[in-house]
A and B are shown apart, each in its own frame.
Chain A
Amino acid sequence: MNLPNQFNLQQRFYTTVFIGISIASILIIGLIYWAISQYATQYVSDYWQGYTKTFSDAVKYPVIIGSTPDALAISQTFAGDKNVKKTAVYTNKMEMLATFGKGTSCKPKHESFNDAFIIDAGGDWCFFAPITHESHVVGHVELVTSKSEVKALLLRMLIAIGLTILLFVMVVFLIVRQQSMVFTSTLAAIESVLKAVSQGVTGARVSFSGSDNIDKIRDGFNDMLVEIEQNKQLLDQRVIDRTLELEKALEGSQAANVYKSQIMMTITHEMKTPLHAISMFLQTLLTLPEGEDLNSLRELNLTALARANDMKENIDTFLLKNKLASDKHDLNHTTVDIMALMQTCAEKVSVLKNRNKNRLMLSNNPLSFVCDAELLTHIVNNLLSNACKFTQNGDIHLNWWLEHDHLSLQVSDTGCGISAENRSRIFEDFWQEDMRESRKFGGHGLGLYIVKQFVNRLQGEIVVSDNADKGSIFTVTLPSPSDEFAHPQ
């Protein structure tokens, strides 16, 4: 025996249709039987009431004259019907005048009555009707009839109705079963596609067609599948993108850690270098024999002092970097003699310039410009210092001019230059092209960062480009400060 599968759509459809038709059939049979039984009962009852009324009219004369033989003859006549079990005639004093038959009598609730009534005595009916003459009640009649024929008739009708409806139900069910695919094909197709989709198959679509509603279901379902697949693709792409981003972030984090280590190493190196030098000079001074030349001692002391100043500059640079980071540096605009400022800066880097056997040429362009002299000095010093540092036996040019109220200054060298890929990073803090401990050029990587910050403070801009043969050109353009800057409140 095959148990019904709760997921089998067709079986569920058959079961639903069968249960529905069965319930409907039972209701229809019950309703029809109830209606027919009501009608038949009422019809038979009305018939017997009329029969009883006729009986009472017929027996009126014998009752009035008190003639038992006549009353009995009439009672016998009315008892001739096979369904009549008993007839009886009573006077208005409830005395039985005549009776015929052996049926069980029903006792009326009232001894006298003016209207006909029925007593339902199980398998029998007792009909009572008054005998009236000119509004006088002269007696009453009783007619006892059997229900057996009515019941038998109703039973036959129930069987006939039941068989008819059963036959009808069977025909309907067979037709429904035959035509079930028409009803379930749509759902079956949807179920099949859903199963494929759940197994990861893409592109599965339903293709049934029919009425407008069926076509709408098909189109709607297919649109839903397309949307689901598109959303799935979008989700997959997002997962891939996010994974890549996370990988990049991880790599960046690892690079940042390396970068941080390098910076720490650079700073440590830059701080330790002058300390080593100072320590070495002080050690030399201790080990010098007595009577050493004072000039030699002074030279050692001056050298040690120079290294101490280098260390101080480094510390000042770090402090300045922090100051810029916290935005605590105030501008102080004054009218500056640019040519004098440039010459001062050139003198300041003369030691370094000479050490690397470089040649520095300044343009002869005297002019005045309203500017923060300290920041401008720092900018020029840094650019010249870098040019001298990264140029060996080369030429360094420092030019300046005014153009549309803008001061432009340019430092060009014939040094090692800056590769194109690093050009965008040279203004980052602590960045150096060669960050190895064994690198050729020292430094902490904050010089150009501070220059960039100062140029920004002065509302200007700085660009770097390649020199024609070799080396780099740094060009700074500073706008003329507004009155607000020129004359701060």
Chain B
Amino acid sequence: MTKWTFKHLLVFFLFCNQAYGGNANLLIIYPEVSKGQEQVYTSVIKGIENKNQQPKLLELKDDQIDIQQQLDDIRPLKIIALGKRAAEAASKSSYRQQTLVGLSYFKRSEFNGVSLMADSRTLAERLHQVAPFIQRIFIVQQTGHHTIDVQPANTADKPTIIGLEGSDSLETIRLLGHLLEQGVSASSDAVFIPANLTDDIRQQVEKVAWDKKIMLLSTNFSHLETGIPMVFYPDPVAMGEQLGRLAGKKSLGYENTASINIGLNRRAAQHIELTPPPQKLDLFSVQIK
């Protein structure tokens, strides 16, 4: 589907579900987004609608902060706020307790909803499906920039998860550097690099890993094109459905994104001798050469 199709599909949903007043069961608040993000939001909304019939939609303007009046007019029973800006706007209103947040990284203590942070166990499980020879998974992150909720593996046949956290970007890079220099085995270890790694450092890291044939992993989809063999990213429709299902529950709660897609850079994977058999290629939602 082209961007044009997604854009018009989003407009169609907006037209069909525009809230003009009255009591509503579910309200979806989403920000004005660029064309590149439209597809993601449309997919998430579509997933929500799969679980909730005719939710109302409210678009948050770029300079809009206070949405109390609009919420009072709609009087929704529950709100799904997509994106960080929508989450903050909803949390400042009197409807905070009825709000679920999606499409944003947050902790359990911050909001209810489905965080983009993936559960390390889910990641390990998905990785095990495509690369069963991986024994240890190193997750290097910077404090305040978590994209993976590191949890110890709960089964013996899954790879071991080892979380490493740097207090700032320099320390994070040093941790990653030392790990690549000394701490990993190319044949049985995989390393999740920080999602916020700057391009120049990432290129250096990729070079070192390329030279040593170390498997690098990332939760940033854009890293797939730069040479990371595999990236793990949420399935937007499934995330919408997860949000819709959570909104249907009586009590709101926190969940990590449950459905993880895998992208494959075939050339980089081939370099580290990762060649999934044909029957497993369906496990990859995206493959590039």
Task: List A residues at the B interface (Cβ < 8 Å).
Answer: 57, 60-62, 64-67, 70, 133-134, 136, 138
**CB of B169 within 8 Å of the partner chain:** yes
- Chain B contacts for A62, CB-based, 8 A: 204
Query: In angstroms, how far is the closest chain B Cβ from the Cβ of A91?
Result: 12
The CA-CA distance from A134 to B178 in the complex, in Å, is 20
- Interface residues as binary, B167-182 with A (CB distance below 8 Å gives 1, 0 otherwise): 0011001101110010
Q: How distant is A141 from chain B, measured CB to nearest CB, in Å? A: 14
CA distance A349 to B177 in the complex (A): 169
Secondary structure class of chain B's binding surface, majority of residues: helix
Task: Let me know if B205 is at the binding interface, CB within 8 A.
Answer: yes
Q: Give a binary string over B207-243; 1 marks a CB under 8 Å from any A CB, 0 the rest.
A: 0100000000000000000000000000000000000
A-contacting residues, B173-215, CB 8 Å: 173-174, 176-178, 181, 198, 200-201, 204-205, 208
**Is the Cβ of A138 less than 8 Å from the Cβ of B170?**
yes
Q: Residues of B at under 8 Å CB distance from A?
A: 169-170, 173-174, 176-178, 181, 198, 200-201, 204-205, 208
Cα distance, A61 to B181, chains bound together (Å): 12
From known contacts A133-B201, A134-B198, infer whether A65 and B174 are also in contact, taking CB-CB under 8 Å.
yes
- Which of A57, A65, A70 lies in contact with B178, CB distance below 8 A? A65
Known: A61-B208, A62-B204. 13 other contacts (CB 8 A): A57-B200, A61-B173, A61-B200, A61-B201, A61-B204, A64-B177, A64-B201, A65-B173, A65-B174, A65-B176, A65-B177, A133-B170, A133-B201
Q: Which residue of B lies closest to A65 (CB)?
A: B177
Residues on A with beta carbons closer than 8 Å to the beta carbon of B176: 65
On whether the beta carbons of A67 and B170 are closer than 8 Å, the reply is no
In the complex, what residues of A have CB within 8 A of residue B178's CB? 65
Contact assessment for A65 and B181 in the assembled complex, using a CB-CB cutoff below 8 Å: yes
Chain B nearest CB: distance from A69 CB in Å? 9
Chain A residues near B205 (CB, 8 Å)? 61
**B201 adjacent to A136 (CB under 8 Å):** no
The 10 closest A-B pairs by CB, nearest first: A65-B177, A61-B204, A64-B173, A65-B174, A134-B169, A61-B201, A57-B200, A64-B170, A64-B174, A60-B200
| B186 shortest CB reach to chain A, Å | 18
The CB with the most chain B CB atoms within 10 A, among A62, A64, A65, A67, is that of A65
Q: How far is the CB of B178 from chain A (nearest CB, A)?
A: 6
Contact (Cβ within 8 A) B177 A133: no
A138 contacts across to B, CB distance below 8 A: 170
Report the nearest A residue to B177, measured CB to CB. A65
A61 to chain B: which residues have CB within 8 Å? 173, 177, 200-201, 204-205, 208
Chain A contacts of B198 at CB under 8 A?
A: 133-134
A-B contact pairs, 13 of them (CB 8 A): A57-B200, A61-B201, A61-B205, A64-B173, A64-B177, A64-B201, A65-B173, A65-B174, A65-B177, A65-B178, A133-B169, A133-B170, A134-B198
Q: Is the CB of B177 within 8 A of A60?
A: no
A136: which B residues are within 8 A, CB to CB?
170
